[in-house]
A = this chain, B = another copy of it.
Amino acid sequence: MDFISILSIFVLSCFVGYYVVWSVTPALHTPLMSVTNAISSVIVVGALIAALAAAVPAAKWLGLAAVVLASVNIFGGFAVTARMLAMYKKKER
C-alpha cells in the first residue's frame, strides 16, 4: 500500500465516521461510547505483534501487558454494550 492509498482510505473513513456517528440515535449515545471504547482496542493488533516476536524480551513483555489491557477493554466493552442494548425494548403489545 502506498501512502496515497492509505491517505485515501483514511479520508473516506473520516467521511463515513462523520455520517455514521451523526446517524446514531441520541438515546444510544451511552452504548456508542462503550462500543467505540471496545473497537478502539483494535490496537491489540499491535500488541499481538509485539507479544509474538521473541527477539527482544522487554518488548515482548510490554506487548503481553498491552494484550491483557486491550483484552479487558474488548471483552468488557462489548459485554457491557450488549448488556445495555439488551435492555432497550419496545412496548410489548
Contacts and interface: CB of A to CB of B under 8 A. Distances in A.
Interface stretch (A8-16, A49-57, A69-77): A8-16
Interface of A is mostly: helix
A13 B5 CA distance: 13
Interface residues of A, number: 14
Contact of A13 (B4, B12, B19, B20): B12
Contact of A19 (B2, B5, B20): B20
23 contacts: A1-B2, A1-B4, A1-B5, A2-B5, A5-B5, A5-B6, A5-B8, A5-B9, A8-B9, A9-B9, A9-B12, A12-B12, A12-B13, A12-B15, A12-B16, A15-B16, A15-B19, A15-B20, A16-B16, A16-B19, A19-B19, A19-B20, A19-B23
Interface of A: 1-2, 4-6, 8-9, 12-13, 15-16, 19-20, 23
